[in-house]
Amino acid sequence: MTHLRIVADENIPALEPLFGDLGDIIKLPGRHMCADDLVDADVLLVRSVTKVNKALLSKSRVKFVGTCTIGTDHLDKHYFNEAGINWSAAPGCNAGGVVQYALAAMATYSPDWSSKTVGIVGCGNVGGRLYRTLKALGVALKVSDPHKSSTDIPELTTLDDVLTADIICVHTPLIREGEHPTENLINAANLPVINPNALLISAGRGEVIDNQVLYEHLKSTPTLNVVLDVWSGEPDILTPLMPWLRCGTPHIAGYSFEGKLNGSLMIYQALAESLAIDPLAINARLDAVKREILGEQEALAANSINEAVLATYNLKADHQLIEQAIESGEPMKTAFDKLRKAYWQRRELGHYYCPQKSGKIFDFLQLVNSVKK
């Protein structure tokens, strides 16, 4: 097998255990990769901060691009097809982390969420996982997704109807053109539809909500509870919006330990298959890395579902990260990426188990694991 030169985002985990046998690995800051970095590269591994297009690849011989993320709006797939470049993404890799984020937001800012109506905008890998989790818990739901049918999702309705829910979770990908674009999907025309006391959670793509319009809306409707993990123009975000939010975080909803590792595992499998590596060898490598890195489950003691969720993830602590960055005076354009790079090792709900073999918490953790697919 050819010895490859692999250029990778330095924030991708498990690079050596997974890809080390395939060739040399060069780690670089994802947002600052340039064409000169890729002159001798065969493989490019990125996350969502790297725009991969003809300009970036023009000097390279790259024949495989892998993004260890759900989204693909940062990839020029038309160019890949023209240039004969294989590519792969990691759909659903961080769904568990984003669901944990949404549940933590609800537990923190709407503790009685289980008796309220939750609206989900976008019911793909992440929104679908949240939908199945909440449905199994008996929560009343409304769903908006033009790519789904009411046969699969009986709660399917219009976007405006979803925006009347008590809690609204936005999980759409960023689509700039076509029949169903999502850029500025939530805007000046429909923000007023949202109940002024509702909880709005955005953990998909920043440009799905018009941030400037949201800022102006919150100044006149300060009772609206907004939790924002994704922002327009990252990393140079609209910092004046922060004081009007209940919670703002630096695009880390899906940055769980498992979420990032899953992305690496999925892209390794795609690359290995493109290299015609024996499937048994691929599975053996995947299993070995998972055993080595994930470790054993941890016991969790809690008296309620909210308590269990918050025992695994204190969302307010992540909110303080951006607050402290703003107070430090460091330009957010650099601080935002630093916060993501130094993000702590958050384990998903599936990493925990209840020592008691029955009861509400045991059932909840069992349910979380049962809706993974």
Dump pLDDT digits (tens) for 305-325. 999 999 999 999 999 999 999
Asked if residue 358 has pLDDT above 80, the reply is no
Binding residues: 48, 69, 145, 172, 229, 254-255
In the prediction, which pLDDT does 373 show? Answer: 56
* pTM beyond 0.85: yes
Q: What is the mean pLDDT of residues 155-180?
A: 96
What share of the chain in percent tops pLDDT 90? 93
Asked if residue 371 has pLDDT above 90, the reply is no
Residue 42's pLDDT band (cuts 50, 70, 90): very high
Binding residues for substrate: 48, 69, 255
Which residue, 213, 214, 212, 252, is CA-closest to 230? 252
Asked if residue 372 has pLDDT above 90, the reply is no
Instruction: At 258, list the tokens.
Output: 């498992």
What share of the chain in percent tops pLDDT 70? 99
Dump pLDDT digits (tens) for 62-91. 999 999 998 898 999 999 999 999 999 999
In the prediction, which pLDDT does 1 show? Answer: 60
Binding residues for NAD(+): 145, 172, 229, 254
Asked if residue 114 has pLDDT above 80, the reply is yes
Half-sphere exposure of 21 (CA within 13 A, CB side): 11
List Cα–Cα distances, 261 to 3, 136, 245, 273, in angstroms: 24, 27, 30, 18
> Distance between CA 103 and CA 99 in Å, rounded?
6
In the prediction, which pLDDT does 357 show? Answer: 79
> Distance between CA 155 and CA 195 in Å, rounded?
20
Asked if residue 160 has pLDDT above 90, the reply is yes
> Distance between CA 131 and CA 120 in Å, rounded?
7
Instruction: List the catalytic residues.
Output: 205, 234, 251
Place of tokens 């209940």: 246
> Distance between CA 143 and CA 151 in Å, rounded?
13
In the prediction, which pLDDT does 301 show? Answer: 87
Residue 59's pLDDT band (cuts 50, 70, 90): very high
Q: What is the mean pLDDT of residues 270-299?
A: 94
Dump pLDDT digits (tens) for 228-273. 999 999 999 999 999 999 999 999 999 999 999 999 999 999 999 9
Instruction: At 154, list the tokens.
Output: 């009986």
